Amino acid sequence: MVEIKKNSATFLAHAGRDPQNQYGFVNVPVVHGSTVIFPDLETFDNKAQKYSYAREGNPTSDALQDVITQMEGGAVTRITPSGLQAACLALMSVASSGKTVLLADCVYEPTRHFANRVLKCMGVTPVYFDPRIGAGISALIDETVCAIYLETPGSVTFELQDLPAIADARGGRDIPILIDNSWASPIFHQPLSLGADIVVHTGSKYFGGHSDLVIGTLTANEKWADSIVSTHHLFGSASSPDDMFLTLRGLKTLRMRMERHSSSALQLAEWLVGQDGVKEVIHPALPSHPDHALFQKYFTGSGSTFAFELEPASRLAVGRMLDMMEIFSIGVSFGGFESLILSPRPGNVRTAVPYGREGNLIRVHVGSEDVADLREDLAEGLKRYNRARN
């Protein structure tokens, strides 16, 4: 029997399909429906058939969950209508009133808002820490801590967290580590094998790959599987069959797309180093990045997004650069075929560690376009920026 490696192009091309039970059709069918019919009362009373109501799952969701679980090396996966809800349900699965959740200061801003508003209302205290704290997190861990939430790297400022060091710092305590792995995807990073317990993804990005769906996933190891299944059930979190189908379709090309994203983004980042007006390029795969050693140790590739800091200038200068881009569009997402550009202001939300940068931050998502064309578009944008700041 041919051995097929997990997350290989071969695995992704065939995972989740079962043509023998799909009337011979290659792809998983899209099952629309809410009500499920029972053949008799005994079956209903004993819950003796696989499906009872669409909210609990159907063949389409089963196929998607199975593929994600295998990709992550987990025990169980649940699908949510958005990546944010995946993060929220993960936190709700482990949070307890009167307890504390430790969160990396670089986490996705909407996740931060959920922690600050909803968790606080539940009596759960969010405490933010320096993403580069590593083993030093042990000083923050006491009897009140019920979970640690990471995002490595942060999707705006790109700090990596030392996941194994943080896992070891728990000292055997029963504290789950939750992690947003959207930047690298399971193709390039395997958090469950490094000490994480629950992994969340905004599948709207790389999993879908075409900017035409909103979906999220959360995957747990054996220890925390029942917790996420129960929370998912209690919240009645059901996703569109069409979005699940599109995600399954997107996964077929995930590896080749990730390899293209990784290569193109790194080429563009290397070119930006030393360009007029560029103060620093912030990409974990560059040797100049403070966390490059962690990247080399725990990642097998990089994502499509990175940032660079421009020399200080007015917001008007940033507008002159971004508003006239020909290929890059202004947008907040990443993972699709089209390249995006954004000028976030992370200093407005950071609390554990001062942001500290004086120049304007630019984040790019590198899509599937030719690198030479993207480079030319950025070069013209930098010229406009430099004219406006001088």
Query: Per-residue pLDDT tens for 81-128?
Result: 999 999 999 999 999 999 999 999 999 999 999 999 999 999 999 999
Which one of the listed residues 78, 205, 257, 363 is annotated catalytic?
A: 205
Nearest to 150 by CA among 124, 179, 170: 179
**Residue 21 pLDDT:** 72
255 labelled catalytic: no
Give the model's pLDDT for residue 22: 67
In the residue annotation, 78 being an active-site residue is answered as: no
Q: 146: which residues sit within 8 A by CB, 6+ positions away?
A: 94, 95, 96, 99, 100, 101, 124, 175
- Identify which has the larger pLDDT, 354 or 322: 322
Maximum CA extent, the chain: 80
Work out the number of other CB atoms within 10 angstroms of the CB of residue 20.
7
Give yes or no for a contact between 385 and 313, defined as CB atoms under 8 angstroms apart: yes
- Structure-token match 């075929």, residue found: 337
State the pLDDT at residue 5.
Answer: 74
Report domain extents, the chain. 9-251, 254-389
Q: Tell me the CA distances in angstroms from 292 to 211, 269, 289, 308, 346, one per residue in order.
A: 30, 14, 5, 16, 21
Please state which CATH class domain 254-389 belongs to: alpha beta
pLDDT band at 1 (very low <50, low <70, confident <90, very high): very low
Lowest mean pLDDT among 20-34, 151-165, 180-194, 367-381: 20-34
Closest-CA residue to 108 (of 77, 85, 141, 80): 85
Mark whether 180 is an active-site residue: yes
Q: Hey, what amino acid is at 128?
A: Y
Identify the active-site residue in 62, 78, 99, 108: 108
Q: Which of 17, 51, 55, 130 does the annotation list as catalytic?
A: 55
Report d(CA 287, CA 295) in Å as an integer. 10
Q: What's the full length of the chain, in residues?
A: 390
Check 62, 105, 162, 180 and give the catalytic one: 180
Predicted structure pTM score = 0.93
Decide if 161 contacts 168 (C-beta within 8 A). Answer: no
Which token pair is 275?
């360009």
Q: What is the mean pLDDT of residues 16-38?
A: 77
Fold of 9-251: Aspartate Aminotransferase; domain 2 (3.40.640)
Cβ neighbours of 332 (radius 10 Å): 11
211-261 pLDDT, tens digit each: 999 999 999 999 999 999 999 999 999 899 999 999 999 999 999 999 999
- State how far the Cα of 41 lies from the Cα of 121, in Å rounded to an integer: 43
Residues above pLDDT 70, as percent of the chain: 98
